[in-house]
Amino acid sequence: MRRRRTSVLVLYTHPLFGQVIKQLLAGEAWLRVAAVAAVDADAVEQALASAPDMVIVEEGVRLDLQLLRDLAPRTLVIDLSVDASGARRPRPGAVAANPETLVDVIRAHGPRRGSSARRPRSWPPPVVAAEARYEPQVIERALGDGHAAAHRPGVAPEVRRRRFLTTGIVAIAGYIATLVGAPALVYVLSPALRRSGEKKWIAVGSASDLKVDSPKKAEFTVSRRDGWIERTDRQSAWLVRRDDGSLLAFSPRCTHLGCAYDWKPDEKRFVCPCHTGVFAIDGAVQGGPPPRPLDRYPVRKRADGVVEVQLL
């Protein structure tokens, strides 16, 4: 007497899964794939209507499994995973399946052949595994060489499509990152990329106020930009007019340790009170610890007689 074949309903969330499972089960004489359908309310209705012996559901969506079990309590449900990489661990209580063992796993958990064909070996039926994967190896094996060779030898069209889409996703992500990242980088580096402006000439007084060889300390304020803040600093410089008409401007700091020095009119020299550094009227060191002459500022006289200096 010919045994009745086990009817199987395959439910997928991705059509490729249904195709793969159907191909893999094609060689099994003891079962018959009755229907392949997407997992939704209609498919669940169909599961009831055609009264399959076994339902294979893609991916461990608990909601669907529970629904199926509620609606068809006598049907064996296998929650199947196809994982060729072996990188994932099966869910607790589940059995892993890979392309080599897939059919064996289904066979092992399917209804016992013989007189009690419709009764599962154990009840409630076991959950086989959890995560559905779409590995190139599984797809190639299931679809066969002829199918793939029609497009490109060795690579199934689904695989090429997958690679194309992966490249596309990475490219779009890179495009967005560049579009936002490049301006943002320039934005952060903007102070460093900006060219520092020309040094300004600062008017510090009138040349007519300077007597020959009688240094005068000029006090002035310098304004500068600190981001969005306008700062004004008080600065000073020693101005000297020589008898040949030339002008000198010295930084008001001693070159030894930066103290403010002063002009001694009776001694006709600059003296620093901190460590008795002594400078001549042209800034040359005459004594004490200073390592170099007084620092000079660039200085010029405008046509209207105003003296201007540039700070260092």
Dig out the tokens for 92 from the structure: 């607790």
Residue 174 lies near another protein (rule: CB under 8 A): no
Only segment of 108-116, 182-190, 250-258, 291-299 that touches another protein (CB under 8 A): 182-190
Options 3, 4, 88, 161; binder of another protein; rule CB under 8 A? 88
Contacts of residues 281-287 at CB distance under 8 Å and 24 or more positions apart, as own/partner, are 281/213, 281/215, 281/240, 281/242, 282/240, 282/242, 282/248, 283/248, 283/250, 285/255
169 or 203: whose CB is closer to another protein? 169
Residue (149 or 189) nearer to another protein, CB: 189
Q: Which CB sits closer to another protein, 108 or 176?
A: 176
Shortest Cβ 154–another protein spacing (Å):
19
Told to check if 63 binds another protein by CB under 8 A, we report: yes
> With binding defined as CB under 8 A, does residue 46 bind another protein?
no
Round to whole Å and give the CA distance between 276 and 285.
Answer: 11
Binding range to another protein, per CB under 8 A, among 84-92, 99-107, 197-205, 285-293: 84-92
User: DSSP letter at 117?
Assistant: T
Cβ neighbours of 138 (radius 10 Å): 23
Q: Does 1 bind another protein (CB under 8 A)?
A: no
Asked whether position 14 contacts another protein by CB under 8 A, the answer is yes
247 binds another protein, rule: CB under 8 A:
no
Residue span binding another protein (CB under 8 A) among the ranges 101-109, 204-212, 225-233, 240-248: 225-233
Q: How far apart are CA 132 and CA 92, in angstroms?
A: 15
What CA–CA distance (Å, rounded) separates 289 from 111?
Answer: 104
Q: Is 192 in the site for another protein (CB under 8 A)?
A: no
H or E, element range at 226: strand 216-226
CA distance 145 to 157: 11
Q: Are strands 54-58 and 76-80 parallel, antiparallel or unpaired?
A: parallel
Question: Which of these ranges, 110-118, 165-173, 211-219, 287-295, lies near another protein under the rule CB under 8 A?
Answer: 165-173
Q: How many CA atoms lie within 13 A of 233 on its CB side?
A: 9
Site string for another protein, 122-161 (x = CB under 8 A): ----------x-x---------------------------
DSSP assigned state of 99: T
Q: Residue 29 interacts with another protein (CB under 8 A)?
A: no
**Is residue 170 a contact point for another protein (CB under 8 A)?**
yes
69 Cβ partners below 8 Å, 6+ apart? Answer: 77, 124
By CB under 8 A, residue 40 contacts another protein: yes
Give the pair of three-digit tokens for residue 180.
Answer: 């936002």
- By the criterion CB under 8 A, which residues form the site for another protein? 13-16, 38, 40-41, 59, 61-64, 85, 87-88, 132, 134, 162, 165-166, 169-170, 180-181, 183-184, 186-188, 190, 193-194, 227-229
